[in-house]
Amino acid sequence: DIQMTQSPSTLSASVGDRVAITCRASKTINILLAWYQQKPGKAPKLLIYKTSTLQSGVPSRFSGTGSGTEFTLTISSLQPDDFGTYYCQRYDTYPLIFGGGTTVEIK
């Protein structure tokens, strides 16, 4: 199975900072990759699908890029509500695999 590795595992940044989270696949995958945000005690929320398409209602400060084996979620200007854990997920084939998560803390 293709594994998904996220980095960093945690990051601490200030409001207004530009933040980037990377997701690396163990083999080349196509663009069927999604990003989720999960807050403590809550279900995940879909942010981006198909590598770069913003889900309806998600603020435009979130963006996704990537191809091949490396994908990035960028928050252009970190806001207080952006704390939580972010997961990537490939869905080009089965099994569907999530990355290990990146916890974002606000300084």
Partner 1 sequence: EVQLVESGGGLVQPGGSLRLSCAASGLTFTAYWMAWVRQAPGMGLEWVANIKQDGSVIHYVDSVKGRFTISRDNAKNSLYLQMHSLRAEDTAIYYCARLYCSGGTCYGAFDVWGQGTMVTVSS
Q: Which residue ranges make up the site for partner 1 (CB under 8 A)?
A: 32, 34, 36, 38, 42-46, 49-50, 55, 87, 89, 91-92, 94-101
Q: How far is the CB of 33 from partner 1 (least distance, A)?
A: 9
Nearer to partner 1, 51 or 82 (CB): 51
Nearer to partner 1, 75 or 97 (CB): 97
Of 32, 24, 15, 31, give the one whose Cα is nearest residue 75: 15
Distance CA 40, CA 5 (A): 21
Nearer to partner 1, 24 or 45 (CB): 45
Q: Kindly write down the DSSP assignment for every residue of 29-56, as one continuous string.
A: --S-EEEEEE-TTS--EEEEETTTEEPT
Q: Which residue has the tokens 């990377």?
A: 22
Q: How far is the CB of 45 from partner 1 (least distance, A)?
A: 8
